[in-house]
Every structure is written in C-alpha cells, then in structure tokens.
Amino acid sequence: MINFERDLANFNLSFYCPKCKLQVRGIPKTDPKWEGGGLSEQWVHLIVQCPTQYCRLSFITYDTLNNRVARVFPEPETSADDYHECIPKNIREDFAEAKRCYFADAYKGTVVMCRRVVQQVVRDKISDKTVWGMKLHKQIDELLKAGLITKSLHELSTEIRHFGNFGAHPQDDGLDDITHEDAETIETFTGDLLIDLYVRPFKTAEMSKKRTKTP
C-alpha cells in the first residue's frame, strides 16, 4: 500500500523563498487542498508564509509520497547577482542557471550546468590552454597537482563531473535518471566548491587586512 502523508503537522515545508532567497520552513496559512478532493492523492496545494517578516506568501504544491515541497509559485528568480561578486561573473551565471533548472524540476539540466561550473573554474584557475583541452577528469587532477584544490575538493569536483556526465549523455546502466535528491546534492556540492575556492579566501583576506591595518 502506498503511504501518502496526510497530517499537515508532519509535512516537510522546507522551501526556497522567492523573495528573501533563503531556505526556510513555510508557515501554513491555509488548509491543504488535495487534488481531486480525495485524501489518498499524492499532490496537495496550500499557501505558506516565509517566517521572514516581510516576505510575501507563496503557493506550493506538496508531494505527500516523498514528503517534500515539489513546486513553489511564484518560482524563485536566480541571477548572477545573487552570488558573491568575488566569484567570476561567468561562473556565477552558470551556477544561477543550474539553480533555475533545479527550481523548474529540470534535474539533468541542473547537474550538466554544475559540471560546466567546474570547467569554468579550471579555466579561471589555470591559464595553460593545454590543460583546457584535456578531459575534465584530467583538468580536475591538474587543479589538485597545482595545489589549487584539496583532496576533498578533488573528490567533490569528481562527483559533480560524474553526475554532469550522467545528465548529458545517455547511460546503458540507467544512471541518467537524475533524481530530485541527486540534483539537490550536486547543486549543494557546487555551491560548496565556489565558497571554498572564492568566497572563503576573499573573506579571510578581508579580515586579515582589517586586523593588520595600521591605526
């Protein structure tokens, strides 16, 4: 028997707020409305409020089978300007497109764009164009050899590359079936990579300058 969640108190109302652009837990403002009116339906609609005081209401479609928010209306708008300016603009633009694919449930598009982000990072960090012509797994190896990434970031980048390949090319083993969870994880990995390579060093340098600034 399929187990549909029916109790609103157990709904996982975590969603990305279109206005404040934060992952939040929505506060229900209406009773859930099941499609077709039956309590055994998978899809439920309700209006939620972001807990941030000045955010607008959002209309969500909830998946009671997988216990997650499936769609949010209005859909979040993501652009390069949403990410720290220390990250090169072309990389921010590709990451923003990955995010837009995720919000549109285009999960293969998400992982393919995340893979592209890794390729753009290589071009930003390594100026040697002979490296640019290598396969991406070799490019990631070159980042490690040059001391530009740690072993853990190498492993993280490799996972992004693998799932990007699964999204871009048909697979005989069925691995091209990219799930919501896969896309979410790869998108998070890519964000972590950009924070470690660009944002954290920038903020560390800013703090160092502040600390050593002559009175």
Q: Give the pLDDT confidence score for residue 12 in this predicted structure.
A: 93
pLDDT at 32 over 60: yes
pLDDT, one tens digit per residue, over 191-207 is 999 999 999 999 999 99
Q: Give the pLDDT confidence score for residue 19 in this predicted structure.
A: 84
pLDDT at 7 over 90: no
Mean pLDDT taken over the chain = 88
Q: Give the pLDDT confidence score for residue 41 in this predicted structure.
A: 77
Q: What share of the chain is helix, strand, coil (3-state, %, to 5)?
A: 50, 15, 35
pLDDT at 114 over 80: yes
Q: Give the pLDDT confidence score for residue 113 in this predicted structure.
A: 95
Q: How confident is the model at residue 39 (pLDDT cuts 50, 70, 90)?
A: low
pLDDT at 37 over 70: no
Structure tokens, 3: 């187990």
pLDDT at 48 over 90: yes
Helices within the chain (DSSP H only): 89-103, 107-125, 129-132, 136-145, 151-168, 180-194, 200-212
Q: Report how far residue 56's alpha carbon sits from residue 161's, in angstroms, rounded to the nearest whole number.
A: 37
Long-range CB contacts (< 8 A, 24+ apart) of 165-172? 165/115, 166/111, 167/107, 167/108, 167/109, 167/110, 167/111, 167/112, 167/115, 168/108, 168/112, 168/115
Q: How confident is the model at residue 14 (pLDDT cuts 50, 70, 90)?
A: very high
pLDDT at 168 over 90: no
Say if residue 74 is preceded by a cis peptide, omega within 30 of 0. yes
Q: Report how far residue 31's alpha carbon sits from residue 26's, in angstroms, rounded to the nearest whole number.
A: 13
Contact between 106 and 90 under an 8 Å Cβ cutoff? The reply is no
pLDDT at 6 over 90: no
Average pLDDT over residues 46-63: 89
Top-confidence residue, 215 or 81? 81
HSE, CB side, 13 Å, CA atoms: give it for residue 76.
27
Structure tokens, 203: 């903020």
Q: How confident is the model at residue 120 (pLDDT cuts 50, 70, 90)?
A: very high
Q: How confident is the model at residue 149 (pLDDT cuts 50, 70, 90)?
A: very high
Instruction: Report the DSSP beta bridge partners of residue 69.
Output: 62
Q: Could you tell me the pTM of the whole model?
A: 0.76
Q: Give the pLDDT confidence score for residue 1 in this predicted structure.
A: 59
Q: Give the pLDDT confidence score for residue 40 in this predicted structure.
A: 60
Average pLDDT over residues 121-130: 94
pLDDT, one tens digit per residue, over 178-188 is 888 899 999 99
Hey, CA dihedral for 97, 100, 104, 108, is it positive or negative? Answer: positive
